[in-house]
Amino acid sequence: MFWPITLLGALIGWLLASIPGALLGALLGQVLDRRFGLNSWARLRERMGGGKAVMQGDELLFFLLGRLAKSSGRISEAHIQAARREMQRLRLTATAQRAAIDAFYRGKSSGDGLRDPLHRLKGRHEDTKSVLQACWRMARAQGAIDARQHELIMLWGKWMGWDSAAIAALDVSGGRSQGAPSNPGGAYEQALRLLGVRADSEPQVIKRAYRRLLSKHHPDKQAGAGATVQQVRDATERTRELHSAYVLIRERRGFR
């Protein structure tokens, strides 16, 4: 019987360097290709760490929404409902909804840079307008927007080719502007102060400062040193603030 040699099967067969090995590789490859979706060399390189898929479309949008929701501290039911409304607005199929949910939760925990994928959207006015409007709606999910969320949306908008005034003008609800936070643009300066670095500090300096403070305030370390329950809670909140500050600085500066 002839067994079609799949992408991964061919690779396994080559490694085994024998005719029986190639046939075995074909069989294994068929199973693994279906399991991991390895239908191209680019996909194989991505799975093996040699390449990286570029986010786009709904995946990128919901990744942004997840990042934005988490930046306020924690994802609430209001954020989840806001994400569902965006799915309904886009009329996503059940399969597309599952992909959007996956992107949303990857966005809340991922440190992936967004500058490049957002730069690629420059010149696509209606697409970027829709993205920014969705971001403002997510930021308003709990009512008032905080400075960190405001900073992120303004930054993302600039990466997509919008000026500050045009980005802010998209923050509307029922035709009425909801206003900016009391300290617009101050989140970046607050993040720098929290990590004890300057706006012109080298990326490696910022990374070292972040890791040092994270190690110092990590709740596990505090608990091991005999801290009280409240002190552990404070340390947990501190590490959350440090992480949010680091992510914001890295987004603004564009390093990984």
Q: What is the pLDDT of residue 39?
A: 44
Cross-strand pairs, 256: none
First to last CA, the chain: 50
Cα separation, 59 vs 57, whole angstroms: 5
- As a CATH number, domain 186-253 is 1.10.287
Break the chain into its structural domains and give their ranges. 7-47, 57-177, 186-253
Q: What is the mean pLDDT of each run of 10 residues along the chain (256 residues)?
A: 47 50 47 44 40 71 91 83 93 92 84 80 92 92 81 89 86 52 62 85 91 86 82 79 82 78
DSSP alpha helices (H): ranges in the chain? 7-16, 19-36, 41-47, 57-71, 77-90, 94-109, 115-119, 125-139, 147-159, 164-169, 186-195, 203-217, 219-224, 229-253
Q: What is the pLDDT of residue 223?
A: 82
Cα separation, 208 vs 79, whole angstroms: 32
Measured at the alpha carbon of residue 54, what is the angle toward residues 252 and 115, in degrees to the nearest 5?
Answer: 15
> Quick one: tokens of 227?
């801290």
Largest Cα separation within the chain, whole Å, is 72
Cα separation, 219 vs 1, whole angstroms: 60
141: buried, middle or exposed (CB in 10 Å: 19+, 13-18, 0-12)? Answer: buried
Q: What is the pLDDT of residue 88?
A: 93
pTM for the predicted model, two decimal places = 0.56
55: buried, middle or exposed (CB in 10 Å: 19+, 13-18, 0-12)? Answer: buried
167: buried, middle or exposed (CB in 10 Å: 19+, 13-18, 0-12)? Answer: buried
Q: What is the pLDDT of residue 10?
A: 53
Q: What is the pLDDT of residue 191?
A: 82
DSSP alpha helices (H): ranges in 17-56? 19-36, 41-47
Helices (H) then strands (E): counts for the chain: 14, 2
Closest C-alpha among 139, 23, 160 to residue 83: 139
